[in-house]
A and B are shown apart, each in its own frame.
Chain A
Amino acid sequence: MNADVIIIGAGVVGAALAYGMALKGKRVVVLDGADRDPRAARANFGLVWVQGKGSDAPAYSALTRQSSDLWPVFRNELSTVAADRVDYERPGGLVYCLSETEYANRAAINERTHNQGAQADTEMIERGALERMLPAVGLGPDVVGASYCKLDGHVNPLQLLAALHRAIMLLGGKIEFRSPVKGIVPVSHGFRVIVPHGELQAPRVVVAAGLATPALTEPLGLAMPMKSERGQILVTERIAPILPFPGSGLRQSADGTVMIGATNEKIADTSVTAASATKLAQRATRIIPALGSARLVRQWAGLRVLPLDKTPIYAESADYPGLFAAACHSGVTLAAVHAAVIAPAMAGGHLPEDLAAFSNGRFNVQKCA
């Protein structure tokens, strides 16, 4: 055996799981994909976000809150283990509303989330109060107000990924880059994992390969129903601090850049378009007109990993004990709970009953006439 656990996928989901297992003393080998794979972990916006998440799925909403609460400790421990900087803040977050309709819709989403029993930690903020929260900027005339959730935060997602990789290696784990997996073969007491230059064996395998996951798990009868969605993001030059709160679609990083995002497109490639750049820039300048004078330095696109019902999937094979898979849209937000809760459960061999809401069995309901 080459390891206690082989994790297929070194993105933010696979890396957080491997880190959580390595913290518990497990020997892990993490297999990263090819250079040109989609790599959502290197394209995302960096929110650690609670509001609106799982507004139709109470278990997802609760898991998100749990992870959000675990994040400060997760970040401090990771930063210490990796001896690396991970810019993270949790000042609460804003969703800007640019019309009375947007304001009413947002209030309705919050209402629905609260009715599921979640705490009332999200509130609607009228324009006057919002102006007092953002003294360094002038709001555009269309801004009606915002929704504010005190639990929201943001992180530099590239620092997060780099720190996870460093921590895994410092804890004795291995990461094999450019090792796209060809297949998983069950053997007695474990699995053989076929990579381009050979094979590895371990008693447990976790597939966290983003959009490549179904192709690896479905031959073994483990369904992981998901789809992709393209998101484009713009980033400005570094400017003096103007945004003390991260927002959905607008946040200023610790280094001063302002990130503007993101589109939701049913397109399966990572090219960028001028039309989306225009749309994103227009909305950002409707919120803060002065951003019109900031220079854009980059535009990029990534592919979201979306389980069909948008709720995370943590799956365990019934046919092949020891085979697991994980897929979710919010790998950054959920990183803390992945490391602290999901990773030890998978390494131990069984997912606990209280994660049943996230099993892939939920997709097997027969369609009613």
Chain B
Amino acid sequence: MIVRVNGVEIGAWNGETVASVLLRAPGAGRGSTVSRTPRLPYCQMGVCFECLVTVDGNASMQGCLVPVAPGMRIESQHGPREISK
């Protein structure tokens, strides 16, 4: 299947997680919510929160817990999520 990471099309397998795609997509790191330093997915099991990502417009998704779907829009999230007023 094809998903989009920061607007760029990339191939993905059925059953693969968003975090797994992020590990091979060029420039798909994120900024830490606290220090804004660059991060990539780490634990792959829902514990470390280093794979926080915006999926189809929903911020702060844990990429390692979300399976990919055809046409999914995945965007790097820099800093903490903004809560709307």
Q: A residues within 8 Å of B by Cβ?
A: 136-138, 237-240, 242, 255-256, 290-291, 293-295, 297
Contact = CB atoms under 8 A, between A and B. Distances in A.
Interface stretch (B6-14, B21-29, B66-74, B77-85): B77-85
18 contacts: A136-B85, A137-B85, A138-B85, A237-B49, A237-B60, A238-B80, A238-B81, A239-B80, A240-B79, A240-B83, A255-B33, A256-B33, A256-B34, A290-B83, A290-B84, A291-B83, A293-B84, A295-B60
A293 B83 contact: yes
Contacts of A138: 85
A297 B33 CA distance: 15
Contacts of A295: 60
A136 B60 CA distance: 19
A240 B85 contact: no
Nearest to A294: B83
Interface string B42-85: 00000001000000000010000000000000000001111111
Nearest to B81: A239
Name the 8 nearest CB pairs between A and B, nearest first.
A238-B33, A240-B82, A238-B80, A256-B80, A138-B85, A240-B80, A290-B83, A239-B81
Contacts of A291: 83
Interface of B: 33-34, 49, 60, 79-85
A240 B79 CA distance: 8
Given A138-B85, A293-B84, 8 more contacts: A137-B85, A237-B81, A239-B81, A242-B83, A255-B34, A290-B85, A291-B83, A293-B83
The secondary-structure label for the interface of chain B is loop
A311 B53 CA distance: 47
A256 B31 CA distance: 14
Contacts of A238: 33-34, 80-81
Contacts of B82: 239-240
Nearest to A136: B85
Contacts of A293: 83-84
Nearest to A288: B83
- In this complex, which of B49, B84, B85 has the most chain A Cβ atoms within 10 angstroms of its Cβ? B85
Contacts of B83: 137, 239-240, 242, 290-291, 293-294
B52 to A, nearest CB: 8
A240 B81 contact: yes
A225 B79 CA distance: 48
A256 B36 CA distance: 13
B54 to A, nearest CB: 13
Contacts of B84: 290, 293
A297 B60 CA distance: 12
Contacts of B60: 237, 239, 295
Nearest to A297: B49
A87 to B, nearest CB: 11
Contacts of B81: 237-240, 294
Contacts of A294: 81, 83
Nearest to B79: A240
A290 B79 CA distance: 19
B59 to A, nearest CB: 9
Contacts of A137: 83, 85
B23 to A, nearest CB: 22
Contacts of A290: 83-85
A242 B81 CA distance: 11
Contacts of A255: 33-34
A291 B49 CA distance: 19
A278 B83 CA distance: 20
Contacts of A240: 79-83
A12 to B, nearest CB: 24
A258 to B, nearest CB: 9
A295 B84 CA distance: 14
